Structure 1
Amino acid sequence: MKRYFLLIFVFISISGYAQNNLNNYRYIIVPKKFSFFKEEDQYKLNTLSKALLEAKGFTVYFDNRELPDDIAANKCKALSYELQERKTMFATNLTFSLKDCKGNVLYKSKEGKSREKDFRASYTLALRDAFEPFNEVQYVYTAPAEATVQQQSNIQNAVTTSASTPVPQTASEPSAAVSETLYAQPTTNGYQLIDTTPKVVLTLLKTSVEDYFIGSTSISNGIVFKKNDSWIFEYYTNGKLISKKLLIKF
């Protein structure tokens, strides 16, 4: 029973998590000057950041350049890149993060370190060290158009049924396991489940409870947990709680 209430708590806590998926974003904006430096692109660290992000498949722009019309019209289509330095006497320590337009952190790197005495070499090595786990993240851009269509459908359904008598929602019995096996690839904060294409189908973020994950697709968000040796993905669609079995290979 305690685990069930924890399940509900986790589910509620992620209700605003719809955008916390890197696959929903194509663009990243990198500042031309970092706050802890006096000069633009000092030690070429901004250029290196841009190159490392582009190597993952993102389209990256400096903040002092003219942006494409679709980003200029809607800044929420792009993520912001921030780099922080933790000062110590004998080492360079760098951490970067990716934030959405509301300031939510979608990704935060490990702390990259270097003890090189040459400043340029030290900053370069520390940044590359911070990017190492990020390079293992399976990024595949997924256009959020389907999510928009789903949201519009949800609104229409809500209007149509607004006069109906409310009925308490209960979870349906888990549907039969999906026919296709999903393969779990480790990430910094959990796993990404891919099919044989390979395409990222579901992103899992770890929680403090064993075998409980925050699950996110391009159009839905919920929880993934283990029950009776089966993996279950639960999420809401049109106000109805959906429960699906998943076949996952870790």
Structure 2
Amino acid sequence: MKQFNLTIGKPCSEKFNQFTQTNSGGFCNSCQKEVMDFRNMSDEKLVEYFKNNQANTCGYFKTNQLKEYSNLNDNRNEAKFKYLRIIGFALFSALSLHNIQAQEKQPATEIIEQTKEAKSNQVKNNDKQKGLLAGVVSDETGPLPGANIILKGTTIGTSTNFDGEFVFPKKLEKGDILIFSFLGYETQTIEIKENQNILNVNMGGDDSFVLMGEVEVNEVYKSKRTLWQKIKDIF
């Protein structure tokens, strides 16, 4: 099984927190079977589990876990290929740079570029001087890009960048309330303290975005890429 989709065709209406706890989840008295708790499993663990257990599995999932998965071996092969592609590109760049330097007689101009971290720190320092609130929104796995932050009672707000960072566009006062939201997570409201200009938020899970029921494992068939297509990807 190369790729497969995990879905729940008929979600169960039973309450998982009322089940008798087991080592792997809970026992449902209604259907007389164990319900596996997959909510804290990584993608790798889920793939490994459903490679060997495809039939009659009843599970408790976060909705973002019900998606298409790739086989671990395919991921490793893809990683190796990407590594070879990077090496090939690096060699190509090195040869090109050598040829340019050999032809170029004028002294090279040194270009100093700020690192991403230095740029980020500079932006934060500028925002701090302006009195704007800045911070990072994350969950247990890392930063959350695209999280929404709204000043309660207004339409003023912003969203986090790719690194989960945000700068609120309006200077806030003590007692103002910010609303943090992200699909699949519990909305949080946080009151601003006096002279506060840094706020880091960790979003918690929302049980309303959890599904339970018998798992359907459907294989996904895709045509294999030819050797020529893989070679073209290197360049």
Global fold match (TM > 0.5):
no
**TM-score w.r.t. length of structure 1:** 0.23
From the CA coordinates, give the structure whose radius of gyration is larger: 2
